[in-house]
Every structure is written in structure tokens, then in C-alpha cells.
Amino acid sequence: EADIYQTPRYLVIGTGKKITLECSQTMGHDKMYWYQQDPGMELHLIHYSYGVNSTEKGDLSSESTVSRIRTEHFPLTLESARPSHTSQYLCASSDAPVGNTGELFFGEGSRLTVL
Amino acid sequence: AQKVTQAQTEISVVEKEDVTLDCVYETRDTTYYLFWYKQPPSGELVFLIRRNSFDEQNEISGRYSWNFQKSTSSFNFTITASQVVDSAVYFCAPKGGSYIPTFGRGTSLIVHP
């Protein structure tokens, strides 16, 4: 069973608010990822990290930012939320010390609604 | 980067039927891995199976089996004797040298009792 946790599970906020979606994993994985998924749609990579102090933007342009100060923690922040940010955000981690064999372990997701 | 096509948007079957989910991928990597994930209504994606690009031996694991054809860049996934609990969205996801998997649009499987 995967040990990766996301909070909050559900969040409804007003436009302009600053929010942080938390993601923590207890598996010691180096690689962590944030995906954005709209209902019935594919997953789009918005951020990833190969380890502490490493962060990269993904394929989908996002106004969010991330940080990786500790191995186990990979929070995502929106400085000023807008209705276009309404979506589900999925955090994942992977442990692949050699090659690219490792599967991703996903959290339960954070469903954000911006009014 | 990889590209994935899951042409089947939604499949509806009756319990105990076999069902095959199609996946066609594109990649420039010579070595890569192919994954299938399941996303039940609860939302959390769960890893199902993995296959590497240099091993085309097809396998069976319980009710799951997969057919990897490198020549046609296909990695199809079959569920035998489907059950209602199999109802979910299934994602095919190749991963190459960048360590970043690319997810297809997913196939929604509905298994009716």
C-alpha cells in the first residue's frame, strides 16, 4: 500500500485567494510529480522533482509553483486562485534508482474549486 | 517524450465478459517501460502492470493479461471474467529515459452486473 498523502481532499475557495496543496510521502522516494486532471480527461504533468532542491515545470503550463525542501514533502502553491484553476490535482512519487522502471504511487488527489 | 493513444473512450460490458483495452504509443527512446494504471471512482490511480521494451513475452497475472507488440507499438491489456469492481478508468503510460510517464486519455470501463 502506497504511503503518499494529499491534503486537502476537497477545497472550495474564492477568486484571488492563495492556496497550498500539500503532498507528503513516507517512502523516501526521490522523484515526485504533480499532475492536473480535469473530469474525464488525461493527466497533464505540471511539475516534477528529481530530489531535494530540484524542481522542473512539466508539459502543461501552470501558474502554480512548487518547492522541494525535504525529500518527503512537495507542496504546490497558487498565489492567486482563479476559476480556471478548478481541477483535480494528483501528486505522485517514484523510486527508480536505476533506469526508469519504477511505477508511480499516487495520492488520493486534491479537488479544487475556485468560485 | 512519448505519445499515447487510447482510442476507446468508453467500454461497457456485462459481468464475466472478457474485455481488452487498447493502447498505441510513440516513443523515440530505444529503451522504455510501459505501464497500465487503474483509476476507480475514488480517484486514486493504482499501478497494475509493467513491461519493458526489450521483453515481448506476454504474461498473465490472475485475471489480467497483456499483449505487447513492439512492431506495432501496441500494449493491450485484457481483463478476463470482468467484475463490477473492475469499473474504472484505465490509463496506459509509457515511460522513457526522462523518468516521466506520459498518460493517455484513459478508457472508461463500465462493468454491469
Contacts of B100 in chain A (CB under 8 A): 33, 45, 48, 58
Q: What is the pLDDT of residues B53-70, one digit of tens each?
A: 877 777 777 899 988 888
Looking at CA atoms only, how far is residue B35 from chain A in angstroms? 8
Looking at CA atoms only, how far is residue A115 from chain B in angstroms? 22
Surface-to-core class of residue A67, CB atoms within 10 Å of its CB (0-12 exposed, 13-18 middle, 19+ buried)? middle
* Position B6 pLDDT exceeds 90: yes
* Position B97 pLDDT exceeds 80: no
Confidence of residue B82 (pLDDT cuts 50, 70, 90): very high
Q: Does residue A108 belong to the interface with chain B, where contact is any CB pair within 8 Å? A: yes
| Residue A26, pLDDT score | 94
CB within 8 Å: B104 and A90: no
Q: What is the pLDDT of residues A62-87, one digit of tens each?
A: 889 999 999 999 999 999 999 999 99
Contacts of B101 in chain A (CB under 8 A): 104
Name which of B7-11, B19-23, B62-66 the model is least confident about.
B62-66
Contacts of A105 in chain B (CB under 8 A): 47
Confidence of residue B32 (pLDDT cuts 50, 70, 90): confident
Q: What is the mean pLDDT of residues B80-101?
A: 90
Surface-to-core class of residue A83, CB atoms within 10 Å of its CB (0-12 exposed, 13-18 middle, 19+ buried)? exposed
Cis upstream peptide for A8 (omega within 30°): yes
| Residue B1, pLDDT score | 67
Q: Which stretches of chain A drop beneath a pLDDT of 70?
A: 1-2, 96-101
| Residue B2, pLDDT score | 78
Beta strand segments in A62-109, E: 65-66, 76-78, 87-94, 105-106
CB within 8 Å: A43 and B103: yes
CB within 8 Å: B44 and A108: yes
Which residue type sits at B67? N
8 A C-beta contact, residue B18 and residue B78: yes
| Residue A100, pLDDT score | 59
Mean pLDDT of chain B: 90
